[in-house]
A and B are shown apart, each in its own frame.
Chain A
Amino acid sequence: MTTAPTRPAAAQGSVGTAHTRVEGRDKVTGAARYAAEIPFTGLAHGWLVLSTVARGRIRAVDADAALALPGVLAVLHHGNAPRLVTDYVGMLGVPDPTAAVFQHDRVPHAGWPVALVVAETPEQAREAADTLAVRYDEEPHDIAFSAARPDAYPVDGYTPAVTEKGDVEAGLAASAVVVDEEYTTPEEHHSAMEPHAATARWDGGRLEVVDSNQGSTWVQSELAAMFALDPSAVRVVSEHVGGGFGSKGVRAQQVAAAMAASVLGRPVRVVLTRRQVFSLTGYRSPTAQRIRLGADAGGRLRVLEHRSWNQTSTVYEFVESSAGPARVLYDAEAHRTSQEVVRLDVPSPTWMRAPGEAPGSFALESAFDELAEKCGIDPIELRLRNEPETGPVSGLPFAGRNLAACFREGARRFGWAERDPRPGVRRDGRWLLGTGTAAASFPVGAGASTAALTAEADGTFTVRIAAADIGTGARTALTLVAADALGTAPERVRVRVGDSAFGSAWIAGGSMGTRSWSWAVTEAARELRERLALSGEIPPEGITVRSDTTEAIGALARKERHSFGAQFAEVAVDVATGEVRVRRMLGIFAAGRIVNPLTARSQLIGGMTWGISMALHEEAVRDRVTGAHYGADLAGYHVATHADVPRIEADWVDDTDPDDPVGIKGIGEVGIVGAAAAIANAVWHATGVRHRALPIRPDRVLTGGTAGV
């Protein structure tokens, strides 16, 4: 028995102060268990078999030899697998049918799941999968992506395909300065360190899945739809998640595990191999982007046209919304953006950290640097001259922008004022040096969520919310938010996440997780404090309240809601070998109220690190001969490692979203936006050569050389 908490004596809260991660000790001692690490009695191991052809039909799956191997329990394929419901609309729209495994004989791309082998041990399952005889009727494939494809067509995704005002051609004709260039970005992969893994178990008519995902109730609702179950009959648990970045939703492994568990009547675990992760879990589509800018001699934009193309699969329409930054950052009398897709015999792309904005900002912010060069205006000054009052496309007010403040603070700390604008004039031994900058923006918002909050009899509090901490620090952030909302110390708050039994909640995605969940926690805390003020005493089972933010979020006024930032990079380039090294980076962000400076800084720096990786390293190569990936592993697909990453600083200016109960915007994605452009602009400043194709590989630098330096 205890009495209700009272307001803290001091007004000083926990939000805004640095706290180490509440699960940190578990993570540094190896005690934190991830999806494939929860023990199950009687566990069987499933191994997926993927198609080796890029297009065609499965003629036959001859499972006899595989079934004769020691320990092999079952081989599932389109000929014998349970049927699924596939014509539903999920929480995030029409699902990518790649997850609905073994429903037909069609092979729409290389690496399409064609069978699951289940055995007593992983070693047995792997060998049986390797030797499973799958025969195909192969058809010619088409994987050639380019902007010049006549079959490209505009698609409304989460944003409109086309926005248009004014006369682009007339504006260009009347402009003193014009930039007209094409930029490309390659296929990029999330490459979370933890491969996708799921264990499924049926208990009566109930399905339980231990998973690695970005939203347990999201996965629960999709699995319930596919297996024609009431959502209450499905429980999805995902306590620790080894990175997601957009790739960890409903994928083949949960569905295949659930199918096999139902067929065998015992728990089945399916863990993807690293190579399978490349084929089955989505990726960022390559993009081709054409930008046309027209400006007066003073750099004021008259025309902004940003056209973007991306590839998608033949089974799913995914739009990489690369025109996003152009619709937010700059206005012009003639303003036109479009997003088109090309359907090819390739796997389905999906969201990947800063979808749209990451590749889109590379093109737009590179083009702006080219405009600054042509106008003879400092790149920061050029951007300040083109700050819009309202949303360039929507006309709506900004719920806080502060981009100019980011540039001013960043310029001061980076030493921008001392920068000689001429390219190719600084040298350090074999290295040419250069600096560059770029703007960043990413939309923010909140998704409806529920939370349960319990005042325990011992004076502590328990938050239960189906949030996902995929490395963002959400558990810790919610602890701080709850503590302040309850007027107590964070040590008295326990936050439990990653369990669909806690009720519906928004996903860890769209830079919306912490904001959405904090809102629900804040609402619950408010109600709990009211209850506690009335009740006085807490019974042994505690007092629990539930919140649901659906109504509050639905009532939000329409505004341009974004996080913003200014990116700065210094690079060294050896044009004799093509090597590029980033020497330092600085990012200053206006990203709303920062809940936990320690983990927020880590997340922003993490995004900027992705920017280095995107600028210099990442490129998944698809082989035109076989239509399949070439070198689909972490030796063939390079992500930045320690030696690539210098000292990076991330900081922020005062900012808030006045309509959010905590003032949060979102920080998960804005850190990567503009980072690759800042690096590419710095490479130009070092060498005098523009690199409009990512990644800026040694061979490209070598071939590009130096221009007029």
Chain B
Amino acid sequence: MGPAPAPTHSAITLQVNGEKYTLSVDHRTTLLDALRERLDLTGTKKGCDQGQCGACTVLLDGRRAVSCLQLAVAAEGREITTIEGLADGERLHPVQQAFLDLDGYQCGYCTPGQICSAVAVIEEHAAGWPSAATDDVRPEAGVPELTAEEIRERMSGNLCRCGAYVSIVQAVARAAGAEEAAV
């Protein structure tokens, strides 16, 4: 005899950009769809819905993640930051400002994901995390300089079909204060 059918919906509370939202979700609902369809936070974009483009990148407990592969029900209890939560009132986040000033985008659809990813890249680098572009990953080698090559590798989970990579890398470097290293 099989097990008793389990409930397929749950009432959950999501904490997004410092606000608490209580809602009932179909367990199938991804965090991405919950943000877009239920909370009207449409800044987070759906490019592939398969973890293959990065357009849906948000920060979960401060770390970047693709919200399309994150079930909403499993995101309960985590601090979620989306593109809508980065600016300080009217003052743009330095990464947002750099994208705006350096034209780090064209159609704008991958942009929220690029920006969320870039915010995390700068923090990951500051925390001393190596990348696949880091020649020597041993801790004795120290923290790699945030060169253009390092930025490119770390940002590679965010596709941009318009081909704005060149100015995105410049924008990330500027926001990280690494413009000289990233020439």
Q: Do chains A and B touch in the complex (CB under 8 A)?
A: yes
What is the bound-complex CA distance between A20 and B98, given in angstroms? 11
Contacting pair A29 B109 (CB below 8 A): no
Contacting pair B100 A20 (CB below 8 A): yes
B interface residue count range (under 10 / 10 to 19 / 20 to 34 / 35 or more):
35 or more
Given contacts A122-B37, A193-B107, contact A633 B83 (CB under 8 A): no
Contacting pair B161 A598 (CB below 8 A): no
Q: Which residues of A contact B49 (CB under 8 A)?
A: 273-274
Residue of A whose beta carbon sits closest to that of B117: A642
Given contacts A194-B107, A472-B106, contact A634 B165 (CB under 8 A): no
A648 at interface by CB-CB < 8 Å: yes
Contacting pair B107 A242 (CB below 8 A): yes
B103 at interface by CB-CB < 8 Å: yes
A490 at interface by CB-CB < 8 Å: no
B144 at interface by CB-CB < 8 Å: no
User: Digit string of B77-119 for contact with A (CB within 8 Å is 1, else 0)?
Assistant: 0000011101100001000110111010111111110010000
A53 at interface by CB-CB < 8 Å: no
B93 → chain A, closest Cβ, in Å? 9
Contacting pair A28 B100 (CB below 8 A): yes
A401 → chain B, closest Cβ, in Å? 26
**B residues 25-78 in Cβ contact with A at 8 Å:** 26, 28-29, 33, 36-37, 40-50, 52-53, 55
Q: Which residues of A contact B107 (CB under 8 A)?
A: 192-194, 240-243, 470-471
Contact residue among B82, B155, B156, B161 (Cβ-Cβ distance under 8 Å from A30): B82
Contacting pair A599 B103 (CB below 8 A): yes
What is the bound-complex CA distance between A607 and B164, given in angstroms? 10
B162 at interface by CB-CB < 8 Å: yes
A571 → chain B, closest Cβ, in Å? 16
What is the bound-complex CA distance between A217 and B64, given in angstroms? 40
Contact residue among A193, A195, A240 (Cβ-Cβ distance under 8 Å from B110): A193
Q: Which residues of A contact B162 (CB under 8 A)?
A: 193, 243, 471, 602, 606
Contacting pair B43 A29 (CB below 8 A): yes
| Complex interface: stretch among A31-39, A98-106, A138-146 | A31-39
Among A20, A37, A639, find the residue whose CB has the most chain B CB atoms closer than 10 A.
A37
Contacting pair A609 B45 (CB below 8 A): no
B166 at interface by CB-CB < 8 Å: yes
Q: Which residues of B contact A30 (CB under 8 A)?
A: 41-44, 82-84, 112
Residue of A whose beta carbon sits closest to that of B47: A193
B45 → chain A, closest Cβ, in Å? 7
**A residues 597-634 in Cβ contact with B at 8 Å:** 598-599, 601-603, 605-610, 613, 633-634
Q: Which residues of A contact B33 (CB under 8 A)?
A: 122-123
A558 at interface by CB-CB < 8 Å: no
Contacting pair B160 A193 (CB below 8 A): yes
A691 → chain B, closest Cβ, in Å? 22
Residue of B whose beta carbon sits closest to that of A32: B108
Q: Which residues of B contact A127 (CB under 8 A)?
A: 28
Contact residue among B45, B50, B165, B166 (Cβ-Cβ distance under 8 Å from A194): B45
Among B106, B148, B151, B155, find the residue whose CB has the most chain A CB atoms closer than 10 A.
B106
Residue of A whose beta carbon sits closest to that of B37: A122
B159 → chain A, closest Cβ, in Å? 6
What is the bound-complex CA distance between A598 and B46, given in angstroms? 27
A21 at interface by CB-CB < 8 Å: yes
Contact residue among B28, B29, B87, B153 (Cβ-Cβ distance under 8 Å from A642): B153
A27 at interface by CB-CB < 8 Å: yes
Contacting pair A192 B161 (CB below 8 A): yes
Residue of A whose beta carbon sits closest to that of B112: A30
Given contacts A28-B105, A194-B47, A195-B46, contact A634 B53 (CB under 8 A): yes
A6 → chain B, closest Cβ, in Å? 32
Q: Which residues of A contact B103 (CB under 8 A)?
A: 20-21, 598-599, 601-602
What is the bound-complex CA distance between A271 and B37, given in angstroms? 13
What is the bound-complex CA distance between A29 and B84, given in angstroms? 6
Q: Which residues of B contact A642 (CB under 8 A)?
A: 151-153, 155-156, 158, 165, 168-169
Given contacts A39-B40, A607-B163, contact A242 B156 (CB under 8 A): no
Q: Which residues of B contact A471 (CB under 8 A)?
A: 105-108, 162
Contacting pair A605 B163 (CB below 8 A): yes
Q: Which residues of B contact A273 (CB under 8 A)?
A: 49
Contacting pair B48 A121 (CB below 8 A): no
What is the bound-complex CA distance between A471 and B160, given in angstroms? 11
Contacting pair A603 B148 (CB below 8 A): no
A25 at interface by CB-CB < 8 Å: yes
Contact residue among A28, A191, A641, A643 (Cβ-Cβ distance under 8 Å from B92): A28
What is the bound-complex CA distance between A634 and B45, given in angstroms? 15
Contacting pair B29 A609 (CB below 8 A): no
What is the bound-complex CA distance between A190 and B162, given in angstroms? 10
Residue of B whose beta carbon sits closest to that of A38: B42
Given contacts A123-B28, A634-B52, contact A33 B42 (CB under 8 A): yes
B118 → chain A, closest Cβ, in Å? 11
**B residues 122-155 in Cβ contact with A at 8 Å:** 133, 148, 151-153, 155
Given contacts A30-B43, A193-B159, A245-B161, contact A633 B50 (CB under 8 A): yes
B167 at interface by CB-CB < 8 Å: yes
Contacting pair B45 A242 (CB below 8 A): yes
Q: Which residues of B contact A635 (CB under 8 A)?
A: 50, 52
Contacting pair A641 B156 (CB below 8 A): yes
What is the bound-complex CA distance between A429 and B14, given in angstroms? 52
Q: Which residues of B contact A633 (CB under 8 A)?
A: 48, 50, 52
B109 → chain A, closest Cβ, in Å? 3
A24 at interface by CB-CB < 8 Å: yes
A538 at interface by CB-CB < 8 Å: no
Q: Which residues of A contact B151 (CB under 8 A)?
A: 642
Q: Which residues of A contact B152 (CB under 8 A)?
A: 642-643, 645
Among B103, B151, B156, B161, find the residue whose CB has the most chain A CB atoms closer than 10 A.
B161
Q: Which residues of B contact A613 (CB under 8 A)?
A: 163
Among B103, B108, B158, B168, find the residue whose CB has the most chain A CB atoms closer than 10 A.
B108
A648 → chain B, closest Cβ, in Å? 5
A473 at interface by CB-CB < 8 Å: yes
Among B29, B55, B155, B160, find the residue whose CB has the most chain A CB atoms closer than 10 A.
B160
Contacting pair B109 A243 (CB below 8 A): yes
B82 → chain A, closest Cβ, in Å? 7
Q: Which residues of A contact B148 (CB under 8 A)?
A: 647
Among A27, A121, A472, find the residue whose CB has the most chain B CB atoms closer than 10 A.
A27
Q: Which residues of B contact A599 (CB under 8 A)?
A: 103, 106
User: Digit string of A572-609 for contact with B (CB within 8 Å is 1, else 0)?
Assistant: 00000000000000000000000000110111011111
Contacting pair B105 A27 (CB below 8 A): yes
27 interchain pairs, CB-CB under 8 A:
A20-B103, A27-B108, A29-B87, A29-B92, A30-B82, A30-B112, A33-B42, A34-B45, A37-B42, A122-B37, A123-B28, A190-B161, A193-B45, A193-B55, A241-B107, A274-B50, A274-B53, A470-B107, A471-B106, A601-B103, A602-B103, A605-B166, A633-B50, A640-B163, A641-B159, A642-B153, A647-B166
Besides the contacts A193-B47, A598-B103, what 16 more A-B pairs have beta carbons closer than 8 Å? A27-B105, A29-B43, A30-B83, A30-B112, A31-B84, A34-B45, A37-B36, A127-B28, A194-B47, A273-B49, A599-B103, A602-B167, A607-B163, A634-B159, A640-B163, A645-B152
Task: List the interface of chain A (C-beta within 8 A of B).
Answer: 20-21, 23-34, 36-37, 39, 121-124, 127, 190-195, 240-243, 245, 271, 273-274, 470-473, 598-599, 601-603, 605-610, 613, 633-635, 639-643, 645, 647-648
Task: List the interface of chain B (C-beta within 8 A of A).
Answer: 26, 28-29, 33, 36-37, 40-50, 52-53, 55, 82-84, 86-87, 92, 96-97, 99-101, 103, 105-112, 115, 133, 148, 151-153, 155-169
Give the 5 A-B CB pairs with smallest separation, nearest first: A30-B43, A242-B109, A471-B107, A609-B163, A606-B163
